[in-house]
Amino acid sequence: MREDAESTEQGPSGAATIGRMMPIPITVVRDFWDRLALASTVIAAVLALLAIIVGVVAIRRGNSIARNADEALIRERRLTFELDVLARLANASARRGAGAVYEVRALIELLPGDELPGLRTTVERTTVEGGPLPDGADLLAAHWSEYAAAVDRRRHAAGLKNGPHWPDQALRAIYQWEWQPRHAKTPTWP
């Protein structure tokens, strides 16, 4: 090997030397801007983590609100359907004849199993005997308390919050409202 060839060696102070040159000192200087860049990077990472947490919480909250709205809609539709069945049941029980028995029986079957037990037994007994229903007014009069209780349970069921639970409340609010002008002053011209 030639003596004048350049070689890389470690000097006494640990600095790298190339060939016969003097060691090159490398000094790392951290000024205000370096510290500011480091602090802003750390703050940005913390804020990104907070944004992820807030996003997850918002998504879960939104899902909860959507689920509650779906359940309220299903509950309202079920109540409306059952009230319609009860109204049609009152209508059908007022009719006479063999066909009315089957219509009343079919309408009672649309309601939950624990509703109108007395009326159910009367209709079942009449269906088994094969005769017509008793007079419609007598049939409802005999079971009026359970019929009225079934209607009232649906009318006063927990519905959507912050709104009228039944159309008659909304109509009552509309008919009781009176228009009153804010400023009853007549305009005057200069």
pLDDT digits (tens, 9 = 90+) for 56-100: 999 999 999 999 999 989 988 998 899 899 888 888 887 766 677
Measured between alpha carbons, how far is 64 from 126 in angstroms, rounded to an integer?
48
Q: Could you give the number of structural domains in the chain? A: 1
Specify the pTM.
Answer: 0.55
Measured between alpha carbons, how far is 15 from 6 in angstroms, rounded to an integer?
16
Q: Which amino acid is at 129?
A: E
Lowest-pLDDT range of 3-7, 19-23, 112-116, 135-139: 3-7
Residue 86 placed within a domain: yes
Query: Residue 5's pLDDT band (boundaries 50, 70, 90)?
Result: very low
Residue 152 placed within a domain: yes
Residue 148 placed within a domain: yes
pLDDT of residue 42: 96
pLDDT of residue 12: 54
Residue 73 placed within a domain: yes
Residue 117 placed within a domain: yes
pLDDT digits (tens, 9 = 90+) for 135-167: 555 677 788 888 888 888 888 876 544 444 445
- Report which secondary-structure segment, H or E, holds 3: none
pLDDT of residue 62: 92
Give the residue numbers spanning the domain of 111: 34-159
Residue 40 placed within a domain: yes
Q: Produce one character per residue of 130-166: b if its CB has 16 or more CB atoms within 10 Å, e if not.
A: eeebeebeebbeebeeebeebeeebeeeeeeeeeebe
pLDDT digits (tens, 9 = 90+) for 29-66: 788 889 999 999 999 999 999 999 999 999 999 999 99
The β-bridge relationship of strands 16-18 and 8-10 is antiparallel
Residue 63 placed within a domain: yes
Residue 7 placed within a domain: no
Query: Residue 131's pLDDT band (boundaries 50, 70, 90)?
Result: low
